[in-house]
Structure 1
Amino acid sequence: MGLADAVHAAFQPDGVLSRTEGHYLAREGQIRMADAVARTIELGGALVVEAGTGVGKTFAYLVPALLSGERVLLSTATKALQDQLFARDLPQLVSALGLPVRTALLKGRGSYLCLHRMEQARQDTALHDRNVQRVLAKVEVWSHSTHSGDLAELPGLDERSPVIALITSTRENCLGVACPRFRQCHVHIARREALAADVVVINHHLFFADVAVRESGMAELLPTVRVVVLDEAHQINEIGVQFLGTHLSTGQWLDYSRDLLATGLQHARGLADWSTLAGHLEQACGDLRIAVGPRVTGAKLRWTGEVPETVTPAGWHEALRGMASACAQAMEALDPLSEVSPDLVRLYERGSELLARLGRFAAPCSPDAVRWLDVGGQLRLVESPLDIAQTMQTRVLAAPAESDAEKDDGDGWPAPAQHAGRAWIFTSATLGDDAGLTWFTERCGLQNAEILRVDSPFDYASQAALYVPRHLPEPSDPGHSLAVAGLAGAAASRLGGRTLVLTTTLKALRAIGDALQARFSNLEGPEVLVQGDRPKRQLMQRFREGTSGGGRGCVLVASASFWEGFDVPGDALQLVVIDKLPFPPPGDPLIEARSQRIKAAGGRSFQMVAVPEAAVALKQGAGRLIRRESDRGVLVVCDTRLATMGYGKRLMRALPPMRVLENTEGLEAALDALTRTSTTDWTWP
């Protein structure tokens, strides 16, 4: 039986998939996608699939990948999705298919406990407050029982905890084979297990970290893999440019200063004035901040000349020279101490790397890149390519598999392969708003890939409604956020919570969150959850619980990462409110540079950059509402431009084909219908 036949058999009503799900239904779109994946695996090449919500894209690529018998690399957007894929979807299918498949999970080093760093942190208790010491003690107890060292397994550890930086390693401070705990290193063990596995689950950050610096262990893994699947592929361009560029931050500089002080006092006390050396590094960071001057947090300063905009050249260059001098002094003190400790050797190497990056930013920007200064809690100097197209074509898609690389006719070029080359599968629910998915394919160098679009099987016209309130202030009006809060609050009152408010800015997040918390300050109304007030994991868990167990319904006000990957099927979520159309922020250096490139080529930058960006983001946000066939709900987009501007029609087409509500009365009737009928016999009023 060929791969295509085996895949078809698995998706039949009485096939193996019917035994993995109690209510399995064969879906035409899912089978179409699985057929295309199977064909690409057999023939090689690249396939791009936009699969609407409910298609079941995970099984559509997993079934042919597993049945192919090939080594498979699965990459997804976040660590949470990694865990879901590895702990739930893969074991379920491997068991159902009865395959002797070894699977492995591989994350970036920042996800794993570093035993050496933990021991150092425990010894430096004088540098930490009691709360940090308490958490460190808890980590140490857990370290004796964990096999994987994956910090996601440690209950109660807040992902925002400052302890995480103390107990994990980075590329800069890892000692590698010189580490005294290398044999027990969780990162090393995870990489070793990945090399021995048939299916390896990673994330996009890890994938591109390796493309950029060959640091993640993927350099050994990728050549042995014939099938590569990148799920949630709409994120790979933005993640890729982060890793393919050059970054230097005052945070890195201060980390180096702290490590220099702690390590010097621990291993070479009295051999250098570590306090003074560390102080010079800290002072250099402060001088750079002074040279930049007072700026609004979150500002991105264009850097088209020798210095960032509005920054005085003399002060800037003097501050950079001060940073270089402080780093050189530290390295001079470290140089004769290589025999004392591998930690000191690594500090010397880190100093060299910092100086090299500093030199990069003292020189002119690369002509095919864009440079800017990010102003936040720390200063970040960034130089980035505009997209990943060239890298994908020359360093990723063109890289041979191990079996191909072995076929060499002696002149340095691979001989013609006698079997299919590597298969690349790129998939997401949102990859563009045109038939060719050009928003995705052009930036990722995939113009020659096969394109497949599979619509959602959901009946959106009967399951969901869309309302664009015409009476709200314009998005630029200072009172817009309070008006959104008023509308969301009134709707949430009718529903008893069950409301997700998605904002496009942190300022709106805070304004709307504060207004709703003030409105529902009593214990009788819905519970208002605001992103940032608790760890993300806790917010998601509480919202999904909803009214189950006698609790109150919830209103969650969130931004950024909650626009996608937040899955709440069922009655806990019946209303999604989006405050504004998610156009790229004005002044974003990458967006501006991409727009300028399009203008130079004679194109219309707003239509080719801003509108597709907004369409993809809007579709992602709207996708939070309907997650399965029995879900019912209302989407409210509080931006009159969706109904009044010419580009609004294009953005409307990007949304699922929901019923449109014309006025406030229609919205209220739809919300009331959600509360007085069950989801099994629900119909519009």
Structure 2
Amino acid sequence: MTTPLQDAVQSTFVGSGALAQAAEGFVARHGQTQLAQAVARTIEQGGVLVAEAATGVGKTFAYLVPALLSGERVLLSTATKTLQDQLFGRDLPRLARALGVPVRTALLKGRGSYLCLHRLEFAGESAAASAPHLRHALSEVERWSKTTRTGDLAELPGLDERSPVIPLVTSTRENCLGADCPKFRACHVNLARREAMAADVVVINHHLFFADLAIRESGMAELLPTVRVAIFDEAHQLNETGIQFLGQQLATGQLLDFARDLLGAGLQQARGLCDWTQLASGVELAARDLRMTAGQVRGANRLRWTGAAPDGIDPADWQAALARLHTALTDAAAGLDTVSELAPDFVRLHERARALADRAQRFGAPCGVALVRWADISQSLRLMESPLDIADIVRTRLLAAPEGEGPARAWVFVSATLGDDARLSWFTQPCGLQDAEVLRIGSPFDYAQQAALYVPVHIARPADPAHSADVARLAGDAAACLGGRTMVLTTTLRALRSIGDALAERFAGGGIEVLVQGQLPKRVLMDRFRAGNADGRPGCVLVASASFWEGVDMPGDALQLVIIDKLPFPPPGDPLVEARCRRIESEGRSAFADYSVPEAAVALKQGAGRLIRRETDTGLLAICDTRLVQMGYGRRLLAALPPMRRLSSAAEFDAALAALRAAPMAEDLVSKQTPAPA
């Protein structure tokens, strides 16, 4: 027997329903309706639903329709700020109009996304802002600040998310003055929080959600208890996002920011009362000294840390550097304590100094038995300590939270990739959701007709130094045949550079433009790749790693070949991976079978998912790792991939490339295309 909400959901997704009338090209899909009904049932009854909805199902509308029709207060969390903006600015208003539902929505991001009016006032006096390019960027922010209502820096299209001006004009939990701030009434962060408290649907991101669980920072301590329905899209990122906030970290970037703020506030508001230059330089020198101590290590970004110091670092030198940092921070705190009554800035700076000093002391002591500790080294240094997963906090802080009157709270977790077994254990176990209802919905795409998989057996094995050169040769030949339209996904930054350099050298004379992750912001790379050979420009081959394995949507002819350099097993030397493997082995299970293979399967599904994005897409997937067809675990990994037809030889691969090249362009097929479901 169905309920009124389920009936309303069903009628929305039929061929003559509200979506068909509002969305041109809408096609009723069984999987989309099935997911929507499951979400509706969970909303009405309460409980936990974990749903894997493969590419093409249309999961966004499948959870938004029942959420909007339910009339409940809803929290929507997604993986990135870009997806937040898409949900809030496009999907929600479009769907609310189609359903005729009056709904008040709000967008809530972390404070680092909003202009801080107080810090903007002093940003121009910062030494960092004296550089000409920063001075120009700051002037753009100042002009925009006079017209913006939200203060959301995403409104500034010319401001790169990596711009060094952003820390100068935004606040952090550590340096925010709160109610003591002279700009408190006009604060954009507080405005966003007030709007969220008054909204029916609030769109947040996973980072913000866990920041609040860990440190009660985002204002959701008041928001979450008022919400009965919480939906997490792109839920596959929850565990890795959560552990970032549930532990402790100390970064040289934090320390240098503190030293800069200390010097600025001291010279502007208490000049002559302390030697601010000496106090700030003491912290800065101690931070750089700690970084230099760690910098003696080569060849690893994450250093295992089970003893008094990370592997490869002299324990005596390391402990001495931490002690000097603790002393510098304690001295800064003592100086700030003498002027704390002069301005709220000094109160917050004193709290920051004490908190950083406590953290330096913590990292000088042994690590807790239930935690894992490591040092993350790149240009900066981060000391990290975290739990192995988020299972405990999900069980104790979310699912066990006291319920109010009425139906139980509804929790919905949805993504295109959540595991490779029937119970989706890759996701449910580390997230503490083993007792959840699990639903798996396959893709409506005809992969056997639309795509083919090729595993070149003649290529060097992944451990062979010639492997990256072989991958680059295959990619270069294919891109030359297709006129670009090729993406190479690598599992390491070393392979990224090697393959990128080889392709750049091959196409130095023109014909194909080689785009390499890191050369330009991700958004710029994506826009250029999508443009392809329009306006007489050469086609593109994009070499990328990390974040490009997911969240990249390029339907049509822009992308017709995805090449994966090797199977994406978790790095064996990573301290977090090692700790998780040790725990699994201590339970009498196989770390390789129960952790490494599922991790690789999910990552492989994510990478392969970049290829086919709608019913009319066609393309090829090449995985340049012979272990996929030569090792026993390869069958499990192959089963995790979409059911593409197999190409067994180089001749068949070349023929498939030629067929793609000869096929009509997408613009010739517009009248036959169906837009990808939301």
Instruction: Look up the match of 2:505.
Output: 518
Cα drift, residue 125 of structure 1:
5.7
Match 1:428 to one of 389, 398, 415: 415
| 1:496 aligns to 2:483 (yes or no) | yes
| 1:219 aligns to 2:221 (yes or no) | yes
Q: 1:350 to 1:297 in 2, by over 3 A?
A: farther
| 1:617 aligns to 2:603 (yes or no) | yes
Instruction: Look up the match of 2:615.
Output: 629
- Which has the larger displacement, 34-43 or 329-338? 329-338
| 1:437 aligns to 2:417 (yes or no) | no
Instruction: Look up the match of 2:514.
Output: 528
**CA–CA distance in structure 2, aligned partners of residues 459 and 309 of structure 1:** 50
**CA–CA distance in structure 1, aligned partners of residues 145 and 20 of structure 2:** 40
Instruction: Look up the match of 1:92.
Output: 94
Match 2:145 to one of 130, 143, 146: 143
| 1:555 aligns to 2:541 (yes or no) | yes
- Which has the larger displacement, 30-39 or 355-364? 355-364
Instruction: Look up the match of 1:585.
Output: 571
**CA–CA distance in structure 2, aligned partners of residues 113 and 473 of structure 1:** 51
| 1:602 aligns to 2:599 (yes or no) | no
**CA–CA distance in structure 2, aligned partners of residues 314 and 298 of structure 1:** 21
State TM-score, norm by structure 2: 0.96
**CA–CA distance in structure 1, aligned partners of residues 127 and 253 of structure 2:** 22
SS in 1 for 2:10: helix
**CA–CA distance in structure 2, aligned partners of residues 221 and 630 of structure 1:** 43
Match 2:189 to one of 187, 190, 198: 187
| 1:289 aligns to 2:288 (yes or no) | no
SS in 2 for 1:465: strand
SS in 2 for 1:678: coil
- Give 1:87-486 correspondences, 5 Å limit: 87-124=89-126, 128-296=130-298, 298-401=300-403, 404=404, 417=405, 419-486=406-473
> Residues 388-427 of structure 1: CA distance to partner in whole angstroms, max 9, x if unpaired?
00000000122235xx0xxxxxxxxxxxx5x321100000
Structure 1: where are the runs of 5+ without partners? 405-416
**CA–CA distance in structure 2, aligned partners of residues 481 and 444 of structure 1:** 36
CA contact (8 A) 1:296 1:375 kept: no
State TM-score, norm by structure 1: 0.95
**CA–CA distance in structure 2, aligned partners of residues 618 and 312 of structure 1:** 39
**CA–CA distance in structure 1, aligned partners of residues 162 and 168 of structure 2:** 12
**CA–CA distance in structure 2, aligned partners of residues 127 and 238 of structure 1:** 34
Cα drift, residue 18 of structure 1:
0.3
SS in 2 for 1:201: strand
Match 1:670 to one of 649, 656, 668: 656
CA contact (8 A) 1:223 1:400 kept: no
CA contact (8 A) 2:297 2:313 kept: no
**CA–CA distance in structure 1, aligned partners of residues 421 and 273 of structure 2:** 65
Cα drift, residue 678 of structure 1:
2.4
Task: Write the letter of the residue equivalent to 1:255.
Answer: D
Cα drift, residue 291 of structure 1:
3.4
Instruction: Look up the match of 1:28.
Output: 30
SS in 2 for 1:101: coil
> Residues 302-322 of structure 1: CA distance to partner in whole angstroms, max 9, x if unpaired?
111232223222222221211
> Residues 42-78 of structure 1: CA distance to partner in whole angstroms, max 9, x if unpaired?
1000000000000000011000010000000000001
**CA–CA distance in structure 2, aligned partners of residues 669 and 169 of structure 1:** 56
- Give 1:51-62 correspondences, 5 Å limit: 51-62=53-64
SS in 2 for 1:87: helix
Cα drift, residue 551 of structure 1:
3.0
**CA–CA distance in structure 2, aligned partners of residues 37 and 222 of structure 1:** 19
Q: 1:653 to 1:518 in 2, by over 3 A?
A: same
Cα drift, residue 285 of structure 1:
1.7
CA contact (8 A) 1:117 1:169 kept: yes
Task: Write the letter of the residue equivalent to 1:181.
Answer: K
CA contact (8 A) 1:630 1:679 kept: no
CA contact (8 A) 2:249 2:384 kept: yes
Cα drift, residue 164 of structure 1:
1.1
Match 2:492 to one of 492, 497, 505: 505
> Residues 571-610 of structure 1: CA distance to partner in whole angstroms, max 9, x if unpaired?
1110001111111112111111111011111000001111
**CA–CA distance in structure 1, aligned partners of residues 83 and 294 of structure 2:** 39
CA contact (8 A) 2:563 2:624 kept: yes
SS in 1 for 2:556: coil
**CA–CA distance in structure 1, aligned partners of residues 555 and 314 of structure 2:** 54
Instruction: Look up the match of 1:408.
Output: none
Q: Count residues with an aligned counterpart.
A: 666
